[in-house]
Structures are given as structure tokens and as C-alpha cells.
Amino acid sequence: MNVRTVATEPFTDQKPGTSGLRKKVAVFQAPTYLENFVQAVFDTVGVPAGATLALGGDGRYLNREAIQVILRMAAANGFGRVLVGQGGILSTPAASCVIRKYGTHGGLILSASHNPGGPEGDFGIKYNTANGGPAPEKVTDAIFARSKALTSYRILDAADIDLDRPGVQRIGEMVVEVIDPVADYAELMESLFDFAAIRELIAGGFGVCFDAMHAVTGPYAKEIIERRLGAPAGTVINGVPLPDFGAGHPDPNLTYAHELVEKMYDLDAPDLGAASDGDGDRNMILGRGFFVTPSDSLAVIAANARLAPGYAKGIAGIARSMPTSAAADRVARKLGVPCFETPTGWKFFGNLMDAGKVTLCGEESFGTGSDHLREKDGLWAVLFWLNILAKRRQSVEQVVQDHWAVFGRNVYSRHDYENLPTDVANAIIGQVRAACATLPGQAFGNYTVKFCDDFAYTDPIDGSVSTGQGLRIVFTDGSRIVFRLSGTGTEGATLRLYLEAFDVDPARQRGDAQLLLEDLILIADQISGLKAKSGRERPTVIT
């Protein structure tokens, strides 16, 4: 077979964001756009002769076509073997699992996560390293630099692989192994959680509804929750992955997972509601008429970790992204384990987990995970909750109320202003940045500013420094306002406003977060000029 070296012009915009390179489908469809990026990845990470690559995606539009191109390029670049999920499917956590279990050189995951799919939607690609985790910044920076200097890519002329046929096929010398995308992952989950106890809970009538949002977790949830844990058929809704996610927005939050939310606030709601995102790494947890904020979910999991067999020995430490609430910090303090604060994005947790410093990690953006993998893991979080509920025999709400009674409540919310003109978003951030110098010491009603900064992080393991990770205004009582620009969008700019107030008053612990955060919301607007500058009366999404 014929390896071709194809001359190409470099692109200037292939800079990976918070989680890989994300662009409109049409951008990826432009001639050589995908090829250039993949070649930049291969050139950057190097391909030891005969190395193995893991490959799969969330099934969105362009997934299969992109996989065929990447397979031919992998063969031309010296890979000896590619493990590809059947049908081109691998959830992000399953890809991390495959990379670790089979010791591959790395993996390519095709996904734009929670961003909409379809011909008008988004596509994305991310590279994970041999530890199973997202490539760290120094690698993504090098990929970007390489992409800007690329003059050719290598590809092999070959026919398409049958992605639906399990087993071994070949492209030239390279072996392509089409693997079951679910099996390895499901086995890992069984090793971590008390499946017998969960089966018993469910057999006793405990109702579950899992919304796969027509994204990648459908087959995973059906196999694990319905088949292995015995939940009745129909427990998993929207369980068939579709290239356009059924025209939905596969983001598991109160706005986009509305079908599930309606069920959970109905009179005959099941006991646990859960949803996952496009690529299966996010999760939302709901009780009957009750929403668990992701920050609280991390804290509850940490406080109850010993109830799950995989964590029975206790946890080494916790890490959370900076905008995530400090609820987990309180648990860490009580457990006497360290708590790390990292920039947004899962790639910052990898070193801490590899070094054995932390067991659990979480982000306010519906991401929770542990050192069983190096990605956040949606279904894992749902199983952790099921395991906790099977042992505690309480409702979701009771578990959270008990938690607040012991630790206090970090009242929390995130307000997203999506698709703002870039100059408007920059002007708002600019105003906050400018205010930072004079804010310390200023009082706003009950709140006095303790300090204000642009979050920077020095990785405690390799010493790498990441700056400009979000403006935080921290008050003397620990309450916070954080402003940050999203690094995953493909249109305009998305401004995220994160709000957190600590409340110990049990009377207010049941209260609605938006009402409890009213003062901070006003202060945030006062400092940033958000409403006036954006012309928006309210956020696009509140979580």
C-alpha cells in the first residue's frame, strides 16, 4: 500500500481550548483541516514504531468519517495497532479506561462534549496521553505550535475499515482492532462499586431514570444500569446515540436536560434522576424534586467514599477546579486529607492523581471523577450515588441535607452569558480586572472584599505555571464571585459568572440558591457592569 505525503498549508486557528480543539463541523470539513491537526498531534507526541493508539468518539456527525481518515493517517505515521470502539464509539471515560488498561501510547477522542452536534453543530478532537488523561498544556501548546508550521501530512491509500465488525482488520501493516466500547469500562465499574447492594436496592423498588440525551452513554447505561444492575427496561431514556443528539443540546443541567427535570419534579418521580453529556464525562444528579449541585455532589461523594468497595480504604486527597465551591474543602479538612485548587479543565488533575496525591476530583461544571481513570466520568458518579444510597437507605435529598447539617452549605450557582460579542465579553472582564486593584477592603452591604486576583496555578508536581485562569473576588467570610471566559465555545464568547456564599444557618439551608445569592449577584453586576455592557437582562443558562 501506498503512503502519500500530501503538501498542505498550515492553519492558524488550531489552538486546543479547555478540552481539545472544537470548531463548527463545516470548519472540520474544510479540506485538510482534520488531517493537519492530526498530523500536528502525531508529530508532537512522536510515534514509537509499532505503538498502539486508542480511537473513538461520541458518535456525533462526522465521527465515522473522521475515524477512517485518522486510521489511514495512523498507519502512515507508524502506529502498529489501533483499538477502535465498535461503530466508532468510545465515551471519554471509556477511552481513558482503554488507554490505561492496554497501555496504549495515547488516544484520540472525537467529541465536542456538551456542544450541539449535527451538520450545523460542533465537532472536536482531543489527544489523551499514555496515563489516559487529557494532554497537559505543554503538549497542547506544542501541538498548536506545530500546526502553525505544518507543510505536509502523511496518509495511506486504503479502503475503509468496517467499524461495525468486531475483531481484527488491517490497514497496510497496521492492525485495527474493533473492540466492544462498553465491556472494559463496565468491568472497571463492577470492580469499584457494590453491585450486589445496588441490585438489591433497585429490586426493592428504588426507581431510577437515566437520561443519555441521545449521546454516547446510552449503550453504557443500558448495559450497566439495566442489564447488570437489573433496573427495568426504559430506565435509560434517550438511550440511542444519534449524530445530532436528536437535535438536542447534550449538556446535563437544569436547562438542557428538561425532559428528565420534568420527570423528577413530577408527583410520581423516581428516586434518582441522572443525566450525562455528549461524550459521557459529565453527570447531573437529581433526587425527587431536588437538584444536587455538582460541587455538593463531589463533597457528598468524598464524605461517603468508604461506602464504596473501591474506596473503602479512604481517599488520599481531593482536587477541585478553582470556580468549584469549597464544599469539598470542608470534607477534606474533616478527613485530614489535602485539598488542591486547580484551574478549570480536567488536564490539571492528571499530575496530582499520577503522584497519588488525590483520589477524587471535581468541577462545578457537572464533572466528577477519581483516580480509577484520568478523565471525569459521568456514569461513575451516578454509580457512586447509587452505592451511597444503597448503603444509607435515605433519599437523595436526605443525604444532602444531612451533609449540610454536618458541614454547612456552600450556596452556589453559575450564571452563563453565552454567545456574547467577543469585545463585549472582553470589556466586562477588563472592567473587573481594572477594579481589582482598588477592591480589597471595600464593603458591599454585608460583604467586604478580602482580595481580588487573576487565578494562577503552579503545578505542585512538575512546577508548570498557568496564568489568567479567572478573576476572583473573595470576601472576608469566604464568599466569592468569579468571572471567567469559556474555553470550549465555538461562537462569540461565553462569560461565566460563578457565585458562592457560605451558609451555616440551618433555617436557610433548604432555601433557593438564587435567592440566597441575590446580594452577590447584584454586587457582581455593580463591579462588572455586566448588564449594561451586554444588554442582557439575565443569563442564558443558570446552573
Q: If DSSP codes are grouped into helix, strand and coil, which group holds residue 406? A: helix
Among Co ion, ligand VG1, none, the one that 346 touches (CB under a kind-dependent 5 to 8 A) is: ligand VG1
Closest distance of CB 384 from ligand VG1, Å: 18
CA dist., res. 89 & res. 67, Å (int): 10
Residues 3-62 that bind ligand VG1 (CB under 6 A): 18-19
In the numeric block, the cell 453491585 is attached to: 195
Of the two residues 226 and 277, which places its CB atom closer to ligand VG1 in the complex?
277
CA dist., res. 381 & res. 217, Å (int): 13
CA dist., res. 140 & res. 398, Å (int): 43
Q: Confirm or reject binding of residue 194 to Co ion (CB under 5 A).
A: no
Residues 285-324 that bind ligand VG1 (CB under 6 A): 321
Q: How many residues bind Co ion (CB under 5 A)?
A: 5
Q: If DSSP codes are grouped into helix, strand and coil, which group holds residue 169? A: strand
Q: How many residues bind ligand VG1 (CB under 6 A)?
A: 18
How far is Cα of residue 443 from the mean position of the Cα atoms in its chain? 36
Interface with ligand VG1 (CB under 6 A), residue from 367, 369, 470, 539: 367
The interface mask with Co ion, positions 102-131, x = CB under 5 A, is: -----------x------------------
How is 470-494 classified by DSSP, letter by letter?
Answer: -EEEEETTS-EEEEEE-SS-SSSEE
Annotated catalytic, 113? Answer: yes
CA dist., res. 393 & res. 530, Å (int): 45
Q: Please, what is the Cα angle at 388 between 298 and 394, to 5 degrees?
A: 110
Q: Confirm or reject binding of residue 251 to Co ion (CB under 5 A).
A: no
> Which residue has its beta carbon closest to Co ion?
113
Among Co ion, ligand VG1, none, the one that 409 touches (CB under a kind-dependent 5 to 8 A) is: none
Among Co ion, ligand VG1, none, the one that 19 touches (CB under a kind-dependent 5 to 8 A) is: ligand VG1
C-alpha cell at position 288? 425527587
Residues 94-153 that bind ligand VG1 (CB under 6 A): 113-114
CB atoms within 10 A of CB 446: 11
Among ligand VG1, Co ion, none, the one that 18 touches (CB under a kind-dependent 5 to 8 A) is: ligand VG1
Residues 273-292 that bind Co ion (CB under 5 A): 277, 279, 281-282
Of the two residues 72 and 282, which places its CB atom closer to ligand VG1 in the complex?
282
Burial class (CB in 10 A: 0-12, 13-18, 19+), 13: exposed
> Which residue has its beta carbon closest to ligand VG1?
113
Strands of the sheet with 318-321, listed across from one edge = 339-342, 318-321, 360-363, 367-370
For β-strands 471-475 and 465-466, DSSP reports them as unpaired
Interface with ligand VG1 (CB under 6 A), residue from 346, 407, 412, 483: 346
Q: If DSSP codes are grouped into helix, strand and coil, which group holds residue 110? A: strand
CA dist., res. 131 & res. 371, Å (int): 11
- Which of the following is catalytic: 113, 321, 413, 528? 113
Q: Confirm or reject binding of residue 375 to Co ion (CB under 5 A).
A: no
Of the two residues 14 and 91, which places its CB atom closer to Co ion in the complex?
91
Closest distance of CB 243 from Co ion, Å: 17
The interface mask with ligand VG1, positions 249-288, x = CB under 6 A, is: ----------------------------x---xx------
The interface mask with ligand VG1, positions 474-503, x = CB under 6 A, is: ------------xxx-------x-------
Q: Confirm or reject binding of residue 469 to ligand VG1 (CB under 6 A).
A: no
C-alpha cell at position 538? 439575565
Q: Please, what is the Cα angle at 323 between 322 and 328, to 5 degrees?
A: 75
Q: Confirm or reject binding of residue 364 to Co ion (CB under 5 A).
A: no
In the numeric block, the cell 470556580 is attached to: 323
b/e 282-311 (16+ beta carbons within 10 angstroms → b): bbbbbbbebbbbbbbbbbbbbbbbebbebb
In the complex, the residues that contact Co ion under the rule CB under 5 A are 113, 277, 279, 281-282
Catalytic residues: 113
In the complex, the residues that contact ligand VG1 under the rule CB under 6 A are 18-19, 113-114, 277, 281-282, 321, 344-346, 363, 365, 367, 486-488, 496
